[in-house]
Structure 1
Amino acid sequence: MNIDLIDETNQVSSEHADLVEEIIVFTSEYLSLPEQVECSVTFVDNKRIQEINKEYRGKDMPTDVISFALDDEVDGEVAIDLEKIDSMFPHHIGDIIISIDRAREQAQELGHSFERELGFLALHGFLHLNGYDHMTPEEEVEMFSLQKEILKTYGLGRDGRA
């Protein structure tokens, strides 16, 4: 698993960047993804994520995390059969954008650590890149149960690392 971390805020400590990388690698292994999978995580502020949210989702407000999955099928595009691609080549599954401002705000609102919130947002975004969603009640149950299971197994509870 290769992860490109980009900090546009200059506010992310090496410990927090390591946490995000660790939980994504852990989740990749938990989901039994091929080693050649790669993604990027960009840390931004509320102003920047609001611009992205408005441009791509039509919502003029800051949000906590946005994922752009490259494997999502789009009408009119030719589907790529990834099984036929040589497993030796890296496969970029998409990009995760996390608002550091919203992560701090939500950690305070929810009464848990910034580390727990940051890890949760990275995990949530990564699951979206891997086809999980919460648009229907059934999808929500599946995705949120998996999130809870992974966070518990990883050891990242509501108070930070367990």
Structure 2
Amino acid sequence: MKFELYVENSFEEHSPSQAVNITDQTWENWFRQWLEILHPDLPPAPSYEVGLRLTDDKQIQALNAQYRQQDRPTDVLAFAALEGDLPQSEEMLASLPLYLGDIIVSIDTGKRQAQQQGHSLSTELAWLTAHGLLHLLGWDHPDEDSLLQMLKQQVILLKAVDISIDTEWQ
């Protein structure tokens, strides 16, 4: 499966958030493995494309206010490209990467949550990014049962990239 990932670090240069130690290659490997697992949820395409933006609380708060009318920071936002109709041309689908959407993660919130959960920032960022990817593919959690299913799927995705996470709800 072909895959393209665009990673953007948009936090301030002198921010303590710079401590993220996940290379672009690691992100690409994680997404590739996750998309292999999630292949049944993917529309057919020759390749896939995802944008990942690592940012700070200030920037994610502005996006959260603009797009969700919630003027506060959040941990992850996902902007799915597949919510509308797919292009009709089979020729187009056969030749272009299918853009799944963008995932925006706040490193500042991720740091706080990692400390609260007692695991590393890298683990928290992987957890949040996997959650965002599931949203790009149409997963949602409007109720407790669907949230539990989504969280279980996140655990599966993290295990696939050798990240274990303690969960009280399992």
Structure 2: distance between partners of 1:133 and 1:13? 27
Structure 2: distance between partners of 1:3 and 1:46? 23
Residues 24-78 of structure 1, C-alpha deviations (whole Å, 9 max, x = no match): 22111111255511010011110000011111111111001000001114xxxxx
Q: By how many angstroms is 1:22 displaced?
A: 2.5
Q: By how many angstroms is 1:14 displaced?
A: 5.8
Percent identity at matched positions? 32
**Which stretch shifts more, 101-110 or 34-43?**
34-43
Q: 1:157 to 1:83 in 2, by over 3 A?
A: farther
Structure 1: distance between partners of 2:127 and 2:108? 15
Residue 51 of structure 2 corresponds to residue 49 of structure 1: no
Residue 32 of structure 2 corresponds to residue 25 of structure 1: yes
Q: By how many angstroms is 1:148 displaced?
A: 1.4
Contact 1:113 1:158 in 2 (8 A): no
Contact 2:61 2:74 in 1 (8 A): yes
Structure 2: distance between partners of 1:127 and 1:155? 18
Partner of 2:22, secondary structure, is helix
> In structure 1, what residue type is equivalent to 2:140?
D
The runs of 5 or more residues in structure 2 that have no matched partner are none
Matched with 2:76 is: 65
Matched with 1:133 is: 140
Matched with 1:38 is: 49
**1:154 equivalent among 124, 147, 161:** 161
The runs of 5 or more residues in structure 1 that have no matched partner are 74-78
**Which stretch shifts more, 108-117 or 33-42?**
33-42
Residues 111-137 of structure 1, C-alpha deviations (whole Å, 9 max, x = no match): 111111011111111111111111123
Partner of 1:132, secondary structure, is coil
Matched with 1:114 is: 121
Q: 1:60 to 1:154 in 2, by over 3 A?
A: same
Partner of 2:49, secondary structure, is strand
Structure 2: distance between partners of 1:18 and 1:144? 25
Structure 2: distance between partners of 1:109 and 1:14? 19
Partner of 2:93, secondary structure, is coil
Contact 2:7 2:24 in 1 (8 A): yes
